[in-house]
Chain A
Amino acid sequence: MDTLKVRDARDVEDVVRAAIASEQPLEIVGHGSKRLIGQPMATNALLDLAALNAVTSYEPNELIITVQAGAPLADVRSLIDSRNQQFAFEPMDTAPLLGTANLGTIGGMIGAGLAGPRRIKAGGARDHLLGAHGVSGFGDSFKAGGRVVKNVTGYDLCKLLAGSWGTLAVMTEVTLKVMPRPESERTLVLRGLDDVAATRAMTAALGSPFDVSGAAHVPNSAFRAAGSGLGELGGRGEAVTLLRLEGITASAAHRAAALGKLLAPFGAADVLEDDASAAVWDSVRDVRPFAASGALAAWPVWRIVCPPASGGALGQALSRDTGGDVIYDWGGGLIWAALPPKPDAQAALVRQRVDAAGGHATLLRASDEVRRNVDVFHPQPSGLAALSERVRQSFDPKGIFNRGRMLRESGA
């Protein structure tokens, strides 16, 4: 397979135009950290953006950073960290789950749009992408959005690019919102709750005025594998329910105490502070209990997004009916489900349950073979699917970019 290592935005335009002329689809990669996600693609060439790795500008007082799409997320993260800032949507590191080598690039972070625990408070990747330059499937360089936080000029194309898995355009440069890193954090730990009770506790916490920035539940079954990534928390083999409070130190401590009182009917809570708290949330964000290095490496993993209050009942039914394990984030609104291996990853059952709950499910980890046989992304009702396809064609009528990644050929 050809790998085309582009050096600048002009190269991208040239490569795309040639691909259009020869009707050859391209797979767009940065570091390739998320290549295992999506339907397996039938592309003949890789468009490699890794050399587009410059930070164009970083203005901490404006809360924005402009970087080329191939910039390593790890580097950009340490740069903004040095100014006490962060990507507030807590982008997930998929490497532990997929068993790949690295964190990937900024372009991959936006294209995948996988937000972490703070999604419930700060929004997702789509809420932090202010502007983008890219090349469309017409072979044209275009820009979307701007470089300021408040902008309603024209259609908000950035929303579409975030989470489009590289199927609409090749992003070459993006402007992202950065936010101050909280001074302190506290995590309340409740123990021994079942999934439904835990969802109730998280619902109570998120319905409080205490500005909860993380609400997760790890059932005891998820600790069956050694090395859950949750350190001592998993040691007792008891389910843990985690609630995070962030802000200036006095405020985080005050709210932790007040929330502890509110949740007293669910049991007494331990409190984790700062580094200990941060480590736990990194594990939740990256779904460490289902890591590819652990006991469940061979199990397919679903990422289910649903109305949060129905999370507990949905997750409990799924684990009961499949013999799988689940982990809850977003107060129940995000369920990670690792299921015992089957050729179809139990897609029919998962989708039936998830549809009934008003959610949608993505098969985030599975072998090539399984992903060839299953709709990786949630099938949509026909009207919505047709509209989405017209939207895709408005960017890339010939299907040059990541062809077939989001839509299974036979299902199309």
Chain B
Amino acid sequence: MAIMMPAPDQAVLGRRDAIVAALRAIVPGEGVIDSAAEMMPYESDGLMAYRQPPMVVVLPDTTEQVSRVLKYCFEQGIKVVPRGSGTSLSGGALPLADGVLLGLGKFKRIREVDFDNRVVVTEPGVTNLAISQAVAHAGYYYAPDPSSQIACSIGGNVAENSGGVHCLKYGMTTNNVLGCEIVLITGEIIRVGGKSAETSGYDLMGIITGSEGLLGVITEVTVRILQKPETARALMVGFAQVEAAGECVARIIGAGIIPGGMEMMDKPAIHAAEAFVHAGYPLDVEALLIIELDGPAIEVDELIRRVESIALGCGSTTCQISTSETERNLFWAGRKAAFPAVGRISPDYLCMDGTIPRGKLPEALARIRDLSAKYELRCANVFHAGDGNLHPLILYDANKPGEMERAEAFGADILRACVELGGVLTGEHGVGIEKRDLMPEMFSEIDLNQQQRLKCAFDAQGLLNPGKVFPTLHRCAELGRMHVHGGKLAFPDLPRF
């Protein structure tokens, strides 16, 4: 394993039996799992190259149990790794050998659907899709739609600040969550926000969202729901050059049009997807854009005309416009199946997730091509082009010695390139363990220290999900130390009034 995790605490491991017994006293019956065989499903999440059996798995089903488990672990100095559905692509729920894996899978109930306030109050183990399904009869849906939405839990979505195809127009999880109940490592239960548009005081909801299980355990979430747009139509536009497709994306945004979704695929991705789902993708183009417009029919029809004319102006070589829901879904079928499609043409693949300024798309692709040659590994690219979020899929074979290491080095270079081009290490998958050691590419030590001080405000002992997000663990006392710089007035020439 290339990623070093904190060394297991032998003293804790030595007390395992007592710990299991104490947890059983809090969570009765099958809620505590300690046999190696039964713990297997919890060894990894969506980042399957990394596996680690936890010390013990606990599956509480009430907030009170979560609180008691955490309080016990806090008092005993035991590490805790929270887990939703385990679909994280960055290893956010990778267990620790000396840690309790706290699964929220039993929190499966939607507590309240409130159409008048346009919110759903739900337990964290409910899947993203189940929320939309629960309100569909009234024309509503929950907007963020990560591709794993059939399986991923809303608690995990909050922890990771998940995105999806539609976040250009409708925002990420953070823009669609109003409140939560969170249990701190001390066992203290805190409610943040609620059904109101804004929380009082500091926006703690804003930092809990995307905190990757390092600040607390989410036991309830309040999300806002939206009315489904009246209609949606998509264009599928092919280009002979990637640059032209990039230009088209820029001009659409420049014209003041914010599509519901705007996706790009490169030639290897188009071919893999077409071979898999037969969506009718053109095979002789270098880049394909799928652009979806949604809203009232009268608006969608007009915007389709505008986008078509922009695409033509950028030298599009093919352009199909959906005329039915079946056709629109077919356009999307290939894009949505891009990951498994690539899985068919390669024994293994790594899915990367960086963001760049939209205008740098052609440059980023050129760099990826060069890196592909350097590392002698193929790469298929799918992008959320509208918001500059890249998902290069690096193809490799784990059975060939050295290929996985090469794929990881290739991936790291792509993310470094994203930062160099003015972007960031991760657009929606999270840092986890996957990008942890790349954090210094984007943040200085001072920047990272400030983030870790915030962690200290929630979890001063560093017991929640340690080893994730931050490349170096600091003790809170050390971070809190104030360096007094000189102490003299260092600005004698500053104008004073």
On whether the beta carbons of A147 and B201 are closer than 8 Å, the reply is no
CB distance from B123 to the nearest CB of A (A): 19
Kindly state the separation between the CA atoms of A17 and B298 in the bound complex, as whole angstroms. 59
Q: By the criterion CB–CB under 8 Å, are A211 and B206 in contact?
A: no
Q: Does A265 contact B (CB under 8 A)?
A: no
Decide yes or no whether B375 CB sits under 8 A from chain A: no
Q: Is the CB of A247 within 8 A of B299?
A: yes
Asked if B8 is at the interface (CB within 8 A of a chain A CB), the reply is no
Taken residue by residue from 437 to 455, chain B's Cβ proximity to chain A (1 for < 8 Å, 0 otherwise) reads as 0010011101111110111
Check A153/B172 contact, CB under 8 A, given A5-B497, A18-B488, A159-B203: no
Residue of B nearest to A140 (CB): B446
Q: Are A250 and B450 in contact (CB under 8 A)?
A: no
Asked whether A139 and B483 contact (CB < 8 A) given A3-B497, A62-B359, A181-B256, the answer is: yes
Please state if B490 and A14 are interface contacts (CB–CB under 8 Å): yes
Q: Considering only CB atoms, which chain A residue lies closest to B172 in the complex? A: A150
- Determine whether B87 belongs to the interface, using a CB cutoff of 8 Å to chain A: no
Q: Which residues of B (232-265) have their CB < 8 Å from a CB of A?
A: 250-251, 253-254, 256-258
User: Restricting to A353-373, which residues have a CB under 8 Å from any CB of B?
Assistant: 358-360
User: Which residue of A is nearest B203, CB measured?
Assistant: A159
Are A160 and B446 neighbours in the complex by a CB distance under 8 Å?
Answer: no
Kindly state the separation between the CA atoms of A20 and B175 in the bound complex, as whole angstroms.
Answer: 36
- Which residue of B139, B429, B496 has the most chain A CB atoms within 10 A of its CB atom? B496
- Of A61, A248, A330, A378, the contact of B303 (CB 8 Å cutoff): A248
| Given known A6-B494, A142-B446, contact A120–B197 (CB-CB < 8 A) | yes
Q: Are A251 and B116 in contact (CB under 8 A)?
A: no
Do A152 and B257 have beta carbons less than 8 Å apart? no
Known contacts A4-B494, A21-B484, A388 near B201 by CB under 8 Å: yes
Q: Which stretch in B56-64, B147-155, B307-315, B420-428 binds the other chain? A: B420-428
Q: Which residues of A contact B205 (CB under 8 A)?
A: 159
B29 interface residue per 8 A CB criterion = no
State whether A123 and B171 are in contact (beta carbons under 8 Å apart), knowing that A180-B258, A209-B229 are contacts in the complex: yes
- Picked from A15, A59, A250, A308, the residue with its CB within 8 Å of the CB of B117 is A308
Chain A: minimal CB distance from B472 (Å): 13
B380-400, CB < 8 A from A: 384, 387-389
Query: What separation, in Å, do the CA atoms of A314 and B304 have in the docked complex?
Result: 44
Asked if B227 and A208 sit within 8 Å, CB to CB, the answer is yes
Given contacts A160-B202, A334-B197, contact A387 B387 (CB under 8 A): no
Q: Is A390 an interface residue (CB 8 A)?
A: yes
In the complex, A306 has a CB within 8 A of chain B: yes
Instruction: Tell whether, in the assembled complex, residue B496 and residue A254 are in contact, meaning their CB atoms are under 8 Å apart.
Output: no
Q: Are B227 and A209 in contact (CB under 8 A)?
A: yes
User: Interface readout for B154-186 with A: 1 if CB under 8 Å, 0 if not?
Assistant: 000000110100011001101100000000100
Residues on B with beta carbons closer than 8 Å to the beta carbon of A274: none
Bound CA span A334–B285, Å? 51
Binding stretch for chain B, among A221-229, A281-289, A392-400: A392-400
A377 to chain B, nearest CB (A): 6
Is B197 a contact of A394 with CB atoms below 8 Å? Answer: no
Q: Does the CB pair A251–B487 fall under 8 Å? A: no
Q: Do A155 and B196 have beta carbons less than 8 Å apart?
A: no
A146 contacts B299, CB within 8 Å? no
Chain B residues closer than 8 Å to A127, beta-carbon distance? 171, 174-175
Is A44 an interface residue, CB under 8 A from the partner? Answer: no
**Residues A141 and B495 in contact, CB atoms below 8 Å apart:** no
Complexed CA–CA distance, A84 and B255 (Å): 9
Choose among B431, B482, B491 the residue that contacts A20 (Cβ–Cβ < 8 A). Answer: B482
Give 1 or 0 for each of A164-184: 1 = CB within 8 Å of chain B CB. Answer: 100010000000000111010
A143 CB, nearest partner CB in chain B, Å: 5
A251 touches B491 (CB 8 A): no
A310 to B195, CA, bound (A): 10
Instruction: Out of B116, B228, B251, B359, name the residue touching A209 (CB < 8 Å).
Output: B228
- Would you give the 0/1 interface string for A40-74, flagging 1 where the beta carbon is closer than 8 Å to chain B? 00000000000000000001111110000000000
**A127-B190 Cα distance, complex, nearest whole Å:** 23
* Residues on B with beta carbons closer than 8 Å to the beta carbon of A398: 482
Q: Is there a chain B Cβ closer than 8 Å to A101's Cβ?
A: no
Asked whether, in the complex, the Cβ of B490 is within 8 Å of the Cβ of A305, the reply is no
Residues B210 and A155 in contact, CB atoms below 8 Å apart: yes
A253 CA to B298 CA, complexed, in Å: 10
B210:A152 contact, CB within 8 angstroms: yes
Chain B min CB distance to A299 (Å): 23
* Any A CB within 8 A of the CB of B192: yes
Q: Is B207 an interface position by the 8 A CB rule? A: yes
Tell me whether B250 and A307 are in contact (CB under 8 A). Answer: no
Q: A61-B358, A333-B197 are in contact. Are A152 and B495 (CB under 8 A)?
A: no
Contact B188 A394 (CB under 8 A): no
Docked pose: A143 CA to B448 CA in angstroms:
9
Residues A306-350 near B (CB distance < 8 A) = 306-310, 330, 333-334
Q: Is the CB of A156 within 8 A of B206?
A: yes
Inter-chain contact B424/A384, CB cutoff 8 Å? no
CB < 8 Å neighbour of B430 from A6, A140, A152, A378: A152
Query: B357 at interface (Cβ–Cβ under 8 A)?
Result: yes
For chain A, residues 16 to 49, give those with C-beta under 8 angstroms from any C-beta of chain B: 17-18, 20-22
Q: Are A207 and B227 in contact (CB under 8 A)?
A: yes
A159 to B173, CA, bound (A): 13
Cβ contact within 8 Å between B451 and A59: no
Contact B201 A155 (CB under 8 A): no
A394/B453 in contact, CB under 8 A: yes
Question: Is A397 touching B355 in the complex (CB atoms < 8 A)?
Answer: no
Verify if B194 is at the interface (C-beta below 8 Å from A).
yes
Can you give 29 A-B contacts (C-beta < 8 A)?
A: A4-B494, A5-B495, A64-B357, A84-B256, A127-B171, A143-B447, A148-B355, A148-B422, A148-B423, A149-B168, A149-B387, A150-B172, A150-B427, A152-B163, A152-B428, A152-B430, A154-B443, A154-B451, A154-B469, A160-B206, A160-B207, A163-B203, A209-B296, A251-B298, A308-B118, A333-B197, A360-B200, A384-B191, A395-B450
Task: Name the 10 nearest CB pairs between A and B, nearest first.
Answer: A159-B206, A180-B256, A251-B299, A360-B200, A309-B116, A307-B195, A390-B457, A21-B487, A394-B453, A17-B485
